[in-house]
Amino acid sequence: MKNKAIIFFAAACLLTVNLVWALSNDSKDEGKVKWHSITEVEKLSKDDPRPILVKVYTDWCGWCKKMDKDTFDDSTVADYINENYYAVKLNAESTTPFKFKGESLTPKAFAQKYGVRGFPTTIFFGKNFTSPNVIPGYQDAKKFQKTLESNK
């Protein structure tokens, strides 16, 4: 009987800790970029048009990982992106097709269409994917913040 009580108490404690942790993490999205798929952004843009930021990367790219850590994980940059842009992450080596402006494209074809030649590359579009501005290379948070403000 004593063993059952100890097991029950331990399980209750574990569940409580997990619940508190889950609630605290789910309620705080500040400081993290909200990434969307291109399909989602096309739908969202119909009701609430905004400029669009497309981050083109590959899994093996060291500078892409550095930009994630130094730039996109910066809370000032992330909050600015979330307030002013729709953000899309696009793995240029993915072969999964998606619809873009009525056309079926792979991420690789999308990257080629917009002249991406290296990684990371950030493509800024006006509202509804108009007027692309392709910016190649790594930028730290301070420089990228200025880039965000000038492409809004």
Instruction: Report residue 4 as tokens.
Output: 């059952």
Instruction: Give the side-chain half-sphere CA count within 13 A for 92.
Output: 21
pLDDT in tens, 8-63: 554 444 444 344 344 444 445 567 999 999 999 999 999 999 999 999 999 999 99
Q: pLDDT band at residue 152, thresholds of 50, 70 and 90?
A: confident
pLDDT averaged over every residue in the chain: 87
Q: pLDDT band at residue 128, thresholds of 50, 70 and 90?
A: confident
Could you tell me which residue, 7 or 58, shows the higher pLDDT? 58
Q: pLDDT band at residue 7, thresholds of 50, 70 and 90?
A: low
What pLDDT is attached to residue 41?
A: 96
Q: pLDDT band at residue 78, thresholds of 50, 70 and 90?
A: very high
What pLDDT is attached to residue 75?
A: 97
Q: Where are the beta strands (DSSP E) in the chain?
A: 35-36, 52-57, 86-91, 98-100, 103-105, 121-126, 130-136
What pLDDT is attached to residue 4?
A: 59
pTM, to two decimals:
0.79
Q: Domain 31-150: which topology?
A: Glutaredoxin (3.40.30)
pLDDT in tens, 104-120: 999 999 999 999 999 99
- Cβ contacts of residue 106 below 8 Å, gap of 6+? 94, 95, 96, 97, 98
Domain boundaries, the chain: 1-29, 31-150
The Cα-based distances of 19 to 11, 16, 45 in angstroms read: 12, 5, 35
Residues forming a β-bridge with 36: 88
What pLDDT is attached to residue 10?
A: 46
142/62 Cα distance (integer angstroms): 19
